[in-house]
Amino acid sequence: MEPLVVRLRNRGWRLTAQRRVIVETMTGDHVHLAADEVFERARAVLPEVSLATVYNTLNELVDMGELLEITHVDGRRRFDPNTAHRHQHLVCVDCGRMLDVVGDEPGLPDEQRHGFELLDVEVTFRARCPDCIGAVRA
- Using CB under 5 A as the binding rule, whether residue 26 contacts Zn ion is answered as no
CB neighbours of 68 closer than 8 A, spacing ≥ 6?
Answer: 62, 79, 80, 81, 82, 83
CB of 62 or CB of 132, closer to Zn ion? 132
Rounded to an integer, what distance in angstroms lies between the CA atom of residue 53 and that of residue 25?
Answer: 14
Q: Candidates 37-45, 49-57, 80-88, 112-120: pick the segment binding Zn ion (CB under 5 A).
A: 80-88
Alpha-carbon torsion (80, 61, 49, 17), positive or negative: positive
CB neighbours of 134 closer than 8 A, spacing ≥ 6?
Answer: none
To the nearest whole angstrom, how small is the minimum distance from the Cβ of residue 110 to Zn ion? Answer: 29
- Using CB under 5 A as the binding rule, whether residue 95 contacts Zn ion is answered as yes
- Using CB under 5 A as the binding rule, whether residue 38 contacts Zn ion is answered as no
- Using CB under 5 A as the binding rule, whether residue 94 contacts Zn ion is answered as yes
Binding site for Zn ion (CB under 5 A): 80, 82, 92, 94-95, 100, 129, 132
